[in-house]
Chain A
Amino acid sequence: MSYLPQSPFEPGPLDDLRPEAAPAAAAEPSERTLRRRYVLRSLWHSPTFLVGAGILLFWIFMALFSVHVSKYGPYSIDPIHALAPTSGAHWFGTDEAGRDVLSRTLAGAATVLVIAPLSTLLCLLLGGSIGLYSGYFGGTRDEVIMRFVDVLLAVPVVVAALVIVAALGHSIAVIILMIGVLFTPPVARTIRAAVVSERQKEYVLAARLRGESAVYIMASEILPNILSPIIVEGTVRLGYAVFTAATVAFLGFGVQPPSPDWGLTISIDSQYIQTAWWTVLFPALALASLVVGANLLADGVRKALSE
């Protein structure tokens, strides 16, 4: 666990004598299974993880089925009751077209929930490959790639997003690609650091002496051993991806009206904030809960894997 900060309370060499560490001496495949079982068990007992996963599942469920749950559709307009305050008929009030804010809020997670996971997968794929390549080969190739990564990191993500969207237009595919590419440099850095510390280990040397190809060593020998930093990085990036996707939508560069997307809704209805605050407050609170949920999940996973 060399990629994690060392603390005096982390297990040292003597801790191997403790009874629960005994399975470490067993054969290699069973050790991996035991570890997986242990991680799953500690996830199951982690309130942070469970609350985060619960929030995410709630919004996934709502994105899929809210149309059947809520009283009004997210798109059904009712101009006579436009900008009506919260009431028994409309718990969260109505927006400028008389649409029910509760129904729209419940349905508003869909676009973010498509963009964030897909762009996270993309940045793991790209950043993982670059990090593996750069860390495994080292030398000039490593130096050149990392310099290039530094240049990409020289622009704030939101600013880069503005340029990319202005140039390529705003389809969901462009936004997924953009977030995926913009998040690649930090992922590449993390994975590279993990690979560099693995590269020196004996199992890699053994594989090299057996005459295995570099691709085989990277994919089948090193990759399984750096899964935990990859998973941790992935869950952390998921939180950032939700943040960025929502921000891009708020700036008007994501999905277009009449989508009930939270960022878009807040962007459009913020002009009514002083007279009809309910049109923006409820989507804002919903978005906050989703972002916090994703980060709680990430925190739970990180702790379970670092134990």
Chain B
Amino acid sequence: MGRLIVRRLLLVVPTLLLLSVLIFLMLGVVPGDPGRVKLGPYAPASAVAQYDHQIGYDRPLVERYGSWLGGFVVLHWGESWNTNQPVFSLTMQRLWASIQLAFVALVIIIPLAIVLGVTAALHRDGIADRIITVVSLSLTVVPEFVSGVVLIVLFVVGLKLFHFPAAPPPGSGPLTRLFYLILPAIPLMFVEMGYIARMARAGMIEALNMPYIRTATLNGLPRRRVVYGHALRNAMAPTVAVIGTQIGWLVGGLVVIERLFVYPGVGKLMADSATFKDFPVLESTVLVVAAIYMLSNLGADIIVAFLDPRVRYGR
């Protein structure tokens, strides 16, 4: 088990390296140079060349990658071409804002999705099942910014319940911050919930069809104990695995939702840096996000392993 985790952790490093090369290559072939972008179309060519030399853009690609990678490892991530802020502190500051939003979303999503999925499974093919399945699947397929617009029109413009934009005023307390984050978390919840609920439903139905459930029922155990004591734990393995992969969708959703709600998170930072071709920021944020994504997948796999004794003890 421990060896499995170490092997997976060691696999993360080459994947990230390969990814950083891929991104560097892609951004390296872009026509136009940062000096031109920074100084505008009317700046003299000498000033552009001077700027490019200053940030080291005139060196060959391999050399640039080497010095970038060396800096990245020791947390010296360079400066933004757009705002001149140091990339590391900028990324971490925005990441923290995004983590708060993602946390609020996940705290709503996971329990709600599991409860809905298990309810649907227990009332299989009944009315509750149909409603839960159809509603959660329809909400899953609608892009976050679409449901976000509908929610803003309903709850901000119509009922005047929530605030827009979603960035809490600086210096506000934790409860105020939480209140600001609820509305942007809901579209994220819509998209994520469907898959998790569907997995929980399928896992529960499969678990309920197992012979040991029949045995437990025939032994006279109360239904409640059969369902929550025996079936639930085994039903959760596929659900946990899917939650891990959903973290990736959550990041994509953050990019969209942070833009719609004008929230200063890492998703908005990424989108803005792509728009302004601010490559030091783009490269670093993408790598950080990919690392988080891979680690959350790994985390999900480890939890699945602990839930399933066959995986835990090596088949």
Contacts and interface: CB of A to CB of B under 8 A. Distances in A.
B290 A285 contact: no
A227 interface: no
A288 B142 contact: yes
A270 B149 contact: yes
Nearest to A271: B262
A160 to B, nearest CB: 8
A167 interface: yes
Interface string A184-215: 00000000000000000000000000000000
Binding site secondary structure of chain A: helix
Interface string A273-307: 11001001100110110011011000100000000
Interface of A: 5, 8, 150-151, 154-159, 162-168, 239, 243, 246-247, 250-253, 263, 266-267, 270, 273-274, 277, 280-281, 284-285, 287-288, 291-292, 294-295, 299
Q: Report the 6 A-B pairs with minimum CB-CB distance, sorted nearest first.
A: A158-B252, A166-B274, A284-B149, A162-B274, A167-B26, A156-B248
B144 to A, nearest CB: 8
Interface residues of B, number: 48
Contact of A247 (B145, B150, B248, B277): B145
Contacts of B274: 162-163, 165-166, 253
Contacts of B271: 162, 251
A274 B282 CA distance: 31
B289 A156 contact: yes
Nearest to A296: B138
B141 to A, nearest CB: 4
B293 to A, nearest CB: 6
A163 B26 contact: yes
B235 interface: no
B150 A281 contact: yes
Contacts of A285: 150
B143 A247 contact: yes
Contact of B290 (A154, A164, A251, A266): A154
B149 A154 contact: no
Interface stretch (B167-175, B253-261, B307-315): B253-261
Given A156-B289, A239-B141, A270-B260, A166 B282 contact: yes
Interface in B28-77: 29-30
A128 B275 CA distance: 33
A287 B256 CA distance: 15
Given A156-B252, A274-B157, A284-B146, 7 more contacts: A151-B18, A154-B290, A159-B255, A239-B141, A266-B146, A277-B157, A281-B150
Given A243-B141, A291-B142, A295-B141, A162 B15 contact: no
A291 B141 contact: yes
